[in-house]
Chains A and B, each alone.
Chain A
């Protein structure tokens, strides 16, 4: 293995940089004597060639969309167009400071404005902020706005937020961070919302309901407008978790469904690369009655005056504005601007045809589900036990769930075993054991950027695993860089850093 802390070259062999503009003796006087660091951090002492090889070696031990099919449900792992990466290297974004005066930032402000408008149009909302930097932070931001909305109306006593049991974990966690109590309601058998259960929990203490549609089972909730009505008539607000937005653009929107606030995962729907866990970007959109609480600042524009300089040439002057009753800041600057610019470039690729993107996401999901659930008779006869649909509906939206419970009962192969075995076939595993309401759940989201051939091959490999010797499957993976990893040992022993190279001295 390549151990970065084993690199310990001589002190003048590493990366070079210009010298300080003062002699060292004078620099030491700029820090109080008692505060001078005695030993530098014991970081590796490595040269560029060694590090390039180290990180290249690490990258080859990592699986991305570029490596192969990544059907990770709920995460929308679509292709990341490369021009977007080229664009964010331009100095007009990379070398920009968030506190520069408006006349120096007209270009970036115009992109912010265009993105705010585009996201509002696609979601049926009135105003968008781009400040939240992750979906969870978007949820938190929207719940803070809703909280202030209730407080201003003298209804600060509304302290409960309703979430379905199939919701993403961030929903209850974000509401809870705002100080809300969580009421979890059970989903119906088909994964759909149970309107009676909802009716029985709403009341004078309801602050909001948080829900995603299509649901985490990949099923569109046809009674969503009724759910909105129930919550609204109790005085609560409706929050739309946009994790599954990739399924519906141009076909419907949260505004039509009766939602008051929504977050978008730009790193899902609009292809900001996931980068091993981030950065994300989680803008939120709200209806007019919540707009005055949004974080500050928002991008705005007006027609150019004679006194203005040229601007970007579209006849507008762009500026920052502060919403009247703003909750303040959730990220210290303007959010993940680099992600916003990438996603702007992505959206420009589709423009008014974004609807095609959702159509292909849904087409691919249904096609793959069909191929898995309808094996050739010869293959079918060799399968230990077929998966069950997580939701018994004719069509799914952008993703679907499978329950491997029959397989577990019959031959002892769990959903996790299937997931690990898939790694041997050179694909990423689906999302595992979520939503929790489906036993032995695998959640599969192919996205629109996979070809029919990739889907055919995945279905074939998946079905083939169902015919394999259980011993092979339950001990998988066999061909990966490491075998099945012992997570329990990690949690018991907590070795959270390299013992390090403590030979480094000043």
Chain B
């Protein structure tokens, strides 16, 4: 309890107010709702004791860096440059609130304006906000935004189309977010190669939006999506979820017709952190600007015509528009976006290219290595993959993962967890840090398990 500067000075302050006890200050709480028992919680601890317990509890977890790991599934086992954490936790950034008072918040405002620029460049769309909670809420709010923009002219009212390969946790977030607006979700099918069934995609023409991912949840880069915008037409938003790192080598969706691009920002800026805090990317064309969610920073000037930055387009937001706001988002993930901006600026155009190439290379090498194992099949043998790919095993993939876990290898995600019909499939995730020796460990783990199953 060393956080209270006025501890022991209560009487001094009370007497100035002409009071005798702190209880008097709580006299507006009627007896019937007044708590009389102390909280049934443990006694206070010192910093030293808290640190000890944190080390013990968190130290008992097994972290991704402690062994070969192929568990990705939407998060990246990245390396974050040391500068990022050190500068982002400078107190002026860390302990500031949303920059409502622009005159004393130019630092964060400019940093977010630079962030917007870097995201805009990355995905090749003109507008970006300063972050959403994660890739899933970003996708969900892109959909509700698109419906607000396109519903009037749509021939399929309140209807949107989503790829069937959107992972179930994201689908669930989307369903929660869109149900209130009465939005009807239709599913777009994929062929056996994991590619969108492009011939049937034109059924989405006349709806409000189409949401697809590139690469999709199996890591597949789908060339067919390049034709999608043409098929669905101008009045249907093409919303594309991306792996942000892939855009170092893969063509940005803004260049092939995407109207809104969303995705997980985590690979830039922060470790996987058990799933949060991370941040969602949200970028769009001008058409959506007055209906988009989230905070936006704009350039302006001060009373002396000096260049300055401020939050703008606030009239979309809940604190002004209340129940007519475009979103309820208030707290977002600014600090993590700041870490992302720092990471992106350290990478630069050359660094993002190399980073992306590293992921592409380890994906390819891992895929080749596993393909050569007898009993292992690539589920999509003719696909191009980035980061993730799917293999089929001669048995339950959950059991395979548990076996390899006991040998000290995190082998990936058993896809039965997402889709029950894929219980023998394993989603292998690679990243820039996947080494030749990691791959050897995975290969020998799988071989050993296959031997075990067959015997």
Contact = CB atoms under 8 A, between A and B. Distances in A.
B205 interface: no
Interface string B14-47: 1011000010111111101111001111111101
Contact of B352 (A40, A59, A279): A40
B87 A56 contact: yes
Contacts of A420: 101, 103
A31 to B, nearest CB: 6
A307 interface: no
B348 A92 contact: no
Contacts of B379: none
A246 interface: no
Interface stretch (A377-385, A465-473, A486-494): A486-494
Interface in A161-179: 168-170, 172-179
B180 A349 contact: no
Given A21-B361, A504-B349, 5 more contacts: A87-B54, A96-B61, A428-B104, A475-B303, A477-B103
B99 interface: yes
B33 A257 contact: yes
B53 interface: yes
B145 to A, nearest CB: 12
Given A52-B83, A83-B50, A277-B334, A90 B59 contact: yes
A220 B66 CA distance: 51
A154 interface: no
A335 B6 CA distance: 34
Given A107-B60, A449-B5, A489-B301, A173 B276 contact: no
Nearest to B53: A348
B106 A55 contact: no
Contact of A31 (B73, B95, B346, B386): B386
B335 A61 contact: no
A27 B62 CA distance: 32
B35 A251 contact: yes
B107 interface: yes
Contacts, number: 698
B385 interface: yes
A337 B273 contact: yes
A461 interface: no
Nearest to B46: A349
16 contacts: A21-B435, A30-B364, A59-B87, A93-B61, A94-B270, A96-B61, A98-B272, A136-B330, A252-B33, A313-B56, A339-B276, A349-B47, A359-B10, A363-B10, A423-B103, A491-B313
Interface in A282-303: 282
Contacts of A497: 113, 116-117, 120, 126-128
A279 B247 contact: no
Interface residues of A, number: 205
B276 A337 contact: yes
A328 B175 contact: yes
Contacts of A34: 223, 226, 251
A334 B348 contact: no
A45 interface: yes
B96 A449 contact: no
B152 to A, nearest CB: 19
B42 A351 contact: yes
A331 B133 contact: yes
Given A64-B95, A328-B175, A222 B348 contact: no
A353 B33 contact: no
Interface string B91-111: 111111111111111111011
A419 B44 CA distance: 37
B249 interface: yes
A304 interface: no
Interface in A423-478: 423, 428-429, 432, 434, 448-452, 475, 477
Interface stretch (B196-204, B230-238, B320-328): B320-328
B193 interface: no
Nearest to B177: A177
Contacts of B401: 101
Interface stretch (B166-174, B184-192, B370-378, B445-453): B166-174
Contact of B179 (A179, A224, A359): A179
B41 A277 contact: no
Contact of B346 (A46, A250, A350, A363): A46
B335 A276 contact: yes
B327 A338 contact: no
Contacts of B275: 97-98, 331-335, 337
A150 interface: no
A149 to B, nearest CB: 15
